[in-house]
Each structure stands twice: as C-alpha cells, then as structure tokens.
Amino acid sequence: GDSVTQMEGPVTLSEEAFLTINCTYTATGYPSLFWYVQYPGEGLQLLLKATKADDKGSNKGFEATYRKETTSFHLEKGSVQVSDSAVYFCALSYSGNTGKLIFGQGTTLQVKP
C-alpha cells in the first residue's frame, strides 16, 4: 500500500544551521505531496505542497522538491531559527478516489540558540 517514511528524530541543530529532513514515499500512482508542521500544543499546519513531479513547494524559507525518480520530497531550510522547533510531517494524497492524507511518522526538530 501507499506509505510515507521520514527520517527518525529528533534532529538537533544550532541556530542558523542548514536543515534537511528526508522523506520518501511509496505510491501506486502520482500523488500530491505535503509537509505539515506541528508546534508544541497545537494542531498540524500546512507548510508547503507540490502536486506534480519537479514542482517545488516553498513557504517561510522552507522548500521541498517533488522527485519522482527517487520518490522523495525532502524538506530543506537554509538557516533555521529557534522558532522552527516543531514536529514536521510529510504526507501524500491522491486526487482520485480519495483525497485522504497518508502521513509519515513525523520528525522532531530542536533548534538550540
């Protein structure tokens, strides 16, 4: 079945460091891909998305490129801040039968000053 796999956390970085959180997926078709972020005590918020191969989603300095050849959607940010500390979820969905989101297990990011 379709699934999403993220790198295990926690990822601990110093402020202004470069961030990469890996995400790979298994899908029978051509899904859309998403990154969601969950700040402490909050629900999930959509961070960015890409709907087809080679699309790049970007928001708040974060970006991810839909790589069909490697079935990946890695999240990157050039310079992280303490306020970026959160749990990041990669997800996929289809436009066909069901639009339900399939999530990865989440990756915790801790940014230290």
Partner 1 sequence: ETGVTQTPRHLVMGMTNKKSLKCEQHLGHNAMYWYKQSAKKPLELMFVYSLEERVENNSVPSRFSPECPNSSHLFLHLHTLQPEDSALYLCASSQEWRGNYGYTFGSGTRLTVV
Binding site for partner 1 (CB under 8 A): 4, 32, 34, 36, 41-46, 49, 51, 89, 93-101, 103-106
| Torsion angle in degrees (nearest 10) through CA of 29, 32, 37, 43 | -90
Two structure tokens written together for 99: 């639009």
Nearest distance from residue 16's CB to partner 1, in Å? Answer: 29
Which residues have C-beta within 8 Å of that of residue 43, sequence separation ≥ 6? Answer: none
Q: C-beta of 77: minimal distance to partner 1 in Å?
A: 20
Closer to partner 1 at the Cβ: 41 or 113? 41
**Contact between 58 and 49 (Cβ < 8 Å):** no
Q: Of the two residues 14 and 83, which places its CB atom closer to partner 1 in the complex?
A: 83
Nearer to partner 1, 44 or 111 (CB): 44
